[in-house]
Every structure is written in C-alpha cells, then in structure tokens.
C-alpha cells in the first residue's frame, strides 16, 4: 500500500506500451514499448488533484484545471510548470517493485526516469 514498497508482479506479466493504475499505491505503472518501467504519481504538481489516465488520448489529465501530461508524465499545458512526480522502480528476482515512500520531483521527463530490468 501507499507509503511502502509494493510488489506488482513478474516483469514478463506487463504488456509493453501499457499503463496500469494502482489506486492503493496512488500511482500508474507505465511499461514502455521497449520494456522500461516508470511509476508515475497520481497527484498533479499544480494543485495536488488526482490525475486520470486517458487511454484513447494516450495521456494523463488533471480534471481540476484541464492540465495534460504525456505518457511519461511530461507536462503539455502551460498551467503546470513541471512533469509529474515518480516513484523508484526496482527489480528483485524477476519481480517489479515500486517504493511509494520516496516521491521523486522532476522538472522534465528524461530517459533516466525509466527503469530497465538488469
């Protein structure tokens, strides 16, 4: 649950190009087309509202002020001044784990934000 380390499942259980919401952990797990993983915090950095994933648009959306973010959490509207926060993703014995005790603030999305299985 939120505030600790969550084990989500085997690496191979996740479909490349998918976004899965973990409501109890307060994040979305993004599995890139190339197999990298990101855990994107569901909280908007502008007002703290809960963001939603819009699969048909391939983006995150904040219903409080219509801010949008791409699939990596990079902001797309000027009302927000930075990307969505993330949580560390680690791999242990072939399992994907997310540490929700450490929110990582970032200005923009970079390739370094994506975790890859060793």
pLDDT score for 85? 97
Give the count of beta carbons closer than 10 Å to the beta carbon of residue 60.
Answer: 26
Read off the pLDDT of each residue in 82-88 and give the average, rounded to a whole number: 97
User: What tens digit of pLDDT does each residue of 21-77 get?
Assistant: 999 999 999 999 999 999 999 999 988 899 999 999 999 999 998 899 999 999 997
Place of tokens 């219509």: 66
- Bridge partners of 36? none
pLDDT score for 80? 84
Given a cut of 90, is residue 81 above it in pLDDT? no
pLDDT score for 70? 96
- Bridge partners of 91? 96
Q: Percent of the chain, pLDDT > 90?
A: 84
């Amino acid at each position: 649950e939120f505030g600790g380390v969550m084990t989500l499942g085997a690496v191979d259980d996740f479909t490349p190009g998918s976004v899965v919401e973990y409501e109890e952990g307060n994040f979305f797990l993004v599995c890139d087309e190339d197999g990298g993983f990101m855990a994107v915090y569901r909280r908007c950095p502008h007002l703290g509202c809960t963001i939603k994933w819009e699969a048909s648009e391939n983006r995150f959306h904040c219903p409080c002020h219509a801010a949008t973010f791409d699939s990596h959490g990079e902001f797309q509207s000027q009302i927000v001044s930075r990307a969505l926060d993330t949580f560390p993703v680690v791999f242990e014995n072939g399992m994907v784990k997310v540490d929700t005790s450490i929110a990582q603030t970032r200005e923009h999305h970079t390739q370094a934000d994506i975790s890859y299985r060793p």
